[in-house]
Homo-oligomer: A and B are copies of this chain.
């Protein structure tokens, strides 16, 4: 008999069907066993009665996470036994049960709330919980929605390399790779230089790229490997064109996520973000005034305060901070002396108290770029490949990069970015805890 997805059972009331999935919960009342069976499309309650003794006997043998195929009759539940949600009016009467795979006894019930180390140590199991599955269903929607929003605006996707020949940006802590008999290669800390090269080819480009940073800190918002959603666009007037596209993308993403996953937001106790009429755009200087900061940047406390302000004054969970000092940004950032001495066209997008995106208009003139290298005492030879793009004609352009893990974390009200990465890597963990001298400060 062909498999029926559990989410499609409503169309088969009264019919004999075959479902497949995992035993989510089993309640044994002796002559009556209830099973909650889970597949990718949802859950249903299965009832095993003495009318079908072989099925009942098999049901008594089942344990959580066993994999089963069950043939049965999709009965309508009696009126007073109905519940809300999927298949709340259906009960599958088991006629035949086939165990496809057994499971050992679980170390803890899979939906139980556990501490972060236990959660990650047991990831192949804990990912099966409703909560964890929900997080990564939402994440898949974010990525898909982000891409489609950009595609409809004329962006072309490209594959950015993970292995790079040098520590291009300098400053960031990079991972070194033994590369045949050559001195060294590194893991990419950003697709930045490549997406700029690609602006010369397709004007508007995007990439979902893995980036790697050997940061020797163990905070709730840093990972050694993370997923970035980048875009870069040519023929802009200034960085405000980039903000426009980014805002449209975030609106598309939030709208789609809210439409498709309101149940997961409810489950996680997360609120659908407020988008306001438009995301406020304020300069760093104005932001500092609002939060009463005297720093040259916004510290984490300042980021939280300015987000509260945006929420309160503009009904928006997002806020753009613009005109960062050039000295605080990467070498390729376009200066903006018109905004004030030493300022630039670099910006951040903050969301619920955290920077989730950073971007800028970039320098596009070859001569100006070379002068910038000289000012910063950087070696142009190391960047000869990148500089070709500028040598042979680059339009005014800009772009930005959204941290997928960070955005997922804040969107779903998670307290640690490790919960928003399927297989998080940090100083002390690659799947399993690493031995060594590191201490975990989660």
Instruction: Give A308 Cβ to nearest chain B Cβ, in Å.
Output: 31
Once A151-B144, A159-B404, A395-B67 are accepted as A-B contacts, the answer to whether A431 and B165 lie under 8 Å apart by CB is: yes
Q: Quick check: which of A89-97, A170-178, A243-251, A346-354 contacts chain B, the rest being far away?
A: A170-178
* A127 on the B face (CB < 8 A): yes
Given contacts A127-B200, A175-B177, A201-B127, contact A436 B224 (CB under 8 A): no
**A332 part of interface (Cβ distance < 8 Å):** no
Interchain CB contact (< 8 A) of A101 among B106, B125, B364:
B364
Q: How far is the CA of A136 from the CA of B198 in the complex (A)?
A: 11
Given contacts A157-B144, A165-B432, A438-B181, contact A392 B100 (CB under 8 A): no
- B437:A393 contact, CB within 8 angstroms: no
Q: Which residue of B lies closest to A174 (CB)?
A: B178
Q: Is A401 an interface residue (CB 8 A)?
A: no
Asked whether any CB of chain B lies closer than 8 Å to the CB of A240, the reply is no
Which residues of chain B come closer than 8 Å to A159, judged between CB atoms? 139, 143, 208, 210, 227, 404, 421-422
Give the most central of A143, A177, A364: most B CB within 10 Å. A177
Taken together as a complex, chains A and B put the C-alpha atoms of A20 and B232 apart, in Å, by 17
Which B residues are in CB contact (< 8 Å) with A364? Answer: 100-101
Are A427 and B101 interface neighbours, CB within 8 A?
A: no
Minimal beta-carbon separation of A129 from chain B (angstroms): 9
Chain B nearest Cβ from A191, distance in angstroms: 10
Residue of B nearest to A237 (CB): B3
A180 CB contact (under 8 Å) in B103, B208, B423, B438: B438
Task: Choose the segment among A273-281, A313-321, A381-389 that binds chain B (4+ C-beta atoms closer than 8 Å).
Answer: A381-389
Asked if A392 contacts B430 (CB within 8 A), the reply is no
Tell me whether A385 and B161 are in contact (CB under 8 A). Answer: no
* A104 in contact with B391 (CB, 8 Å): yes
Across the interface, which residues of B come within 8 angstroms of A201, CB to CB?
127-128, 132-133, 136
- Interface residue A263 (Cβ < 8 Å from any Cβ of B): no
CB <8 Å contact, A391 and B162: no
The dominant DSSP class at the A interface is mixed
Given contacts A194-B423, A393-B101, contact A385 B157 (CB under 8 A): no
* Nearest-CB residue, chain B, relative to A396: B100
The interface residues of chain B lying within 8 Å CB-to-CB of A128 are 200-201, 392
B residues in contact with A80, CB < 8 Å: none
Contact between B430 and A163, CB atoms less than 8 A apart: yes
The answer on a CB contact under 8 Å between A385 and B67 is no
Interface pair A124/B197, CB less than 8 Å apart: yes
Q: Mark A115-150, 1 if CB is under 8 A from B, else 0.
A: 000000011110110001100110110011001000
Which residues from B are CB-within-8-Å of A386? 124
Known: A161-B225, A177-B176, A388-B124. A393 touches B438 (CB 8 A): no
What's the least CB distance linking A59 to chain B, in Å? 16
A178 and chain B: residue at smallest CB distance:
B176
| Interface check A373, CB cutoff 8 A | no
Interface flags for A192-222 (1: CB within 8 Å of B; 0: not) read 0010011011111000101010101000000
Q: How far is the CB of A442 from chain B (nearest CB, A)?
A: 16
Task: Fill in one digit per residue for A424-438: 1 if any B CB lies within 8 Å of its CB, else 0.
Answer: 010100111011111
Q: In the bound complex, how far is the Cα of B214 from the Cα of A290, in angstroms?
A: 53
- Residues of chain B within 8 A (CB-CB) of A225 are 161-163
Mask, A223-264, CB within 8 Å of B = 1, is 011010000000100000000000000000000000000000
* B180 near A40: Cβ-Cβ < 8 Å: no
Assembled-state Cα–Cα distance A127/B373 (Å):
25
Tell whether A66 is near chain B: CB-to-CB under 8 Å: yes
- Of B20, B154, B158, B185, which is within 8 A of A140 by CB? B158
| Contact residue among B144, B194, B425 (Cβ-Cβ distance under 8 Å from A161) | B425
15 A-B pairs within 8 Å (CB atoms) are namely A40-B154, A40-B204, A101-B396, A104-B392, A127-B201, A136-B158, A140-B158, A144-B157, A159-B227, A161-B422, A163-B175, A175-B177, A176-B178, A179-B224, A194-B423
Extra contacts, 7 of them, besides A123-B197, A162-B187 (Cβ < 8 A), are A100-B364, A103-B393, A122-B388, A137-B156, A160-B423, A164-B431, A385-B432
User: Which 3 A-B residue pairs are closest in the complex by CB-CB distance?
Assistant: A103-B393, A65-B393, A165-B430
